[in-house]
Amino acid sequence: LLFYNNLNEGVAYHKLKNLATAAKFYRKALALENSIVPVIALTRIKYDAGDWENCIKTADTVLEKSTEEPESMMFKGLSQLKLKQKKQGMANLLKFRKFLLKKEGTLDDIPEKYHDGIIKLARFYTNRKKYKLARKYFKSVENTKENTKEYLFYLGKNYLYSKEPENAVRLLQKLDFSSAYYLMAKSFALHHNLNLTKESLKRAGAKKEIYWKKAKNETYFQEFKKDPEFVKFIDNKGVVSSPQIPPSKKEENPQNSKSNPQPLPKININK
């Protein structure tokens, strides 16, 4: 009984993000009973605290006793990714996938504690062009991850390369970073919308100039490159010469403002 009391206290403090106190109760539980349950909990504590190396060590302690324990394998893989050990990290996340499916049988109703690993697998399969498979993983974490940058960006990317530009834009327009704007430009190009392609490309280029260089060789823009004005638009990095405006009117013209551009509107590109 005392073992479970300490374990439950640890869980309660963990939910409150009081990691130090939670760890103290997990260790008390472990001292009472040599069980892997508090060790798994300590693995998550170390991951949540950003202690990647010790998270891996603690995960290995669990895996020595239970070789196919999915949660510990997940945190080992995630910690390795945080440490830039991408090859080892993904290899272990694929092992986590195997262990998880063996335990749960399906991706339907996967417990929330596994979602941090599942979203990484959705991202992995999207980058490997396995778009339909990736969608299954996105679907299984939708209720906890749908508003995160990682979910929005990679599912948006998935939609784009699945030739579903409307769905891609629906997600990507919620983000405000260069790579998201660039994918939006490609989505609008796929939908033959020149103005919104240019607007999105300007947003991407304003944040990172490398996107102007990428645009010169972008196959998604081939149709627009038949127009010399679009080529000039890219060469000039979105700067378009305009007629001189009398000084008295310059302040009134919003095109002369040097403030940051307003966010792209929420648009229906089917219109």
| Residue 252: inside a domain | yes
Total of domains in the chain = 1
Going by C-beta distance under 8 Å and a sequence separation of 6 or more, which residues neighbour residue 175? 149, 152, 153, 156
Residue 143, domain member (yes or no): no
Task: Kindly state whether residue 86 falls inside one of the protein's structural domains.
Answer: no
Determine the distance from the C-alpha atom of residue 115 to the mean position of all C-alpha atoms in its chain, rounded to a whole number.
12
Within a domain: 5? no
For every one of its 271 residues, what pLDDT tens digit does the chain have, with 9 covering 90 and above? 899 999 999 999 999 999 999 999 999 999 999 999 999 999 999 999 999 999 999 999 999 999 999 999 999 999 999 999 999 999 999 999 999 999 999 999 999 999 999 999 999 999 999 999 999 999 999 999 999 999 999 999 999 999 999 999 999 999 999 999 999 999 999 999 999 999 999 999 999 999 999 999 999 999 999 999 999 999 999 986 655 455 554 444 434 433 344 455 554 555 4
* Position 183 in a domain: yes
Give the up-direction half-sphere exposure of residue 99: CA atoms within 13 A in the CB hemisphere: 19
Would 6 be classed as within a structural domain? Answer: no
* pTM, to two decimals: 0.86
Residue 208 lies in a domain: yes
Going by C-alpha positions, the residue among 192, 266, 271, 261 that lies closest to residue 230 is 192
Give domain status of residue 161, yes or no. Answer: no
Domain that holds residue 242: 177-271
